[in-house]
């Protein structure tokens, strides 16, 4: 009789162990939070924001986000400099012989500043590639211009030529006496390349008056 009771107890323990062990093909249990990893890993990586129309770029901002009505000017000196930004330099191709800068325009619509521009690469082997900016200026401070909009990059060898873009709040920074504002978020989201997207101020050339020539008698 005792042996029978012992056998029943052993069968009960073994059965309980099997019941607690998940099958081999069952989904893994979520990772519990810890001090070093506060949340379980996502089931899939976030989708990269790709694709941009060739014209009339529009920023995919969150619905209901307040619209920029005016540009905040914290530095009049910086604002005067940025108003003279007329060129785009694209670092990806800037060192290739034959590369040329693109054009950018900073305009004012009442109290709101607008920035739009595009550079089409003409360096040998890169024809058809381009980069563009379209946005409104949120704030201008010393050495810092904050833009809400997007910058798109079209590179033939990246994503089969599909334009890749960074969008939202973009920060252009300048240091010292530099005449260049560089996009801080300028890494291409599709291949990780540092695009080195720059807006360049060019001081207008002052034309000196030509002295009048004395008349010959």
Residue 171 lies in a domain: yes
* 149 phi, psi to nearest 5 deg: 165, -140
The total of structural domains in the chain comes to 1
Cα 35 to Cα 22, 30, 166, distances in angstroms: 27, 16, 32
Whole-model pTM: value is: 0.65
* 104 phi, psi to nearest 5 deg: -135, 145
pLDDT classification of 203: cutoffs 50, 70, 90: confident
Query: 158 in helix, strand or coil?
Result: coil
Residue 125 lies in a domain: yes
Residue 6 lies in a domain: no
Residue 170 lies in a domain: yes
The residue ranking higher by pLDDT, 50 or 165, is 165
Structure tokens at 160: 């089969």
* 81-104 burial code (b ≥16 CB/10 A, e <16): bbeebbbbbbbbbeeeeebeebeb
Mean pLDDT of the region 178-202 = 95
Residue 132, pLDDT above cutoff 80: yes
Residue 188 lies in a domain: yes
What does the pLDDT look like over 9-39, one tens digit per residue? 555 554 554 445 555 555 555 544 444 334 4
Residue 33 lies in a domain: no
Structure tokens at 184: 């801080």
Nearest Cα neighbor of 188 from 63, 41, 52, 60 is: 52
The residue ranking higher by pLDDT, 29 or 187, is 187
Nearest Cα neighbor of 87 from 185, 202, 207 is: 202
Q: CB atoms < 10 A from the CB of 164, how many?
A: 22
The answer to whether the beta carbons of residues 64 and 52 sit under 8 Å apart is no
What does the pLDDT look like over 53-78, one tens digit per residue? 444 544 444 444 558 899 999 999 99
Residue 175 lies in a domain: yes
Residue 182 lies in a domain: yes
**Range(s) of the domain holding residue 158:** 72-201
Nearest Cα neighbor of 173 from 75, 99, 93 is: 75
For residue 140, list its beta bridge partners. Answer: 73, 145
């Amino acid at each position: 009789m005792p042996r029978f009771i012992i056998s029943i107890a052993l069968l009960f323990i073994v059965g309980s162990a099997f019941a607690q062990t998940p099958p081999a093909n069952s989904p893994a249990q979520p990772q519990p939070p810890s001090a070093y990893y506060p949340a379980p890993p996502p089931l899939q990586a976030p989708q990269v924001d790709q694709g941009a129309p060739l014209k009339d770029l529009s920023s995919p901002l969150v619905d209901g986000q307040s619209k920029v009505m005016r540009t905040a000017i914290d530095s009049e000196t910086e604002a005067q400099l940025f108003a003279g930004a007329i060129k785009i330099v694209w670092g990806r191709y800037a060192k290739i012989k034959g590369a040329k800068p693109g054009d950018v325009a900073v305009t004012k619509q009442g109290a709101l500043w607008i920035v739009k521009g595009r550079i089409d690469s003409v360096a040998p082997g890169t024809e058809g590639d381009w980069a563009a900016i379209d946005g409104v200026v949120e704030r201008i401070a010393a050495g810092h211009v904050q833009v809400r909009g997007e910058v798109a990059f079209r590179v033939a060898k990246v994503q089969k030529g599909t334009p890749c873009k960074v969008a939202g709040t973009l920060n252009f920074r300048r240091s010292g006496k530099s005449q260049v504002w560089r996009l801080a978020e300028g890494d291409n989201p599709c291949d990780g390349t540092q695009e080195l997207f720059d807006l360049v101020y060019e001081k207008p050339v002052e034309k000196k008056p030509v002295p009048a020539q004395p008349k010959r008698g």
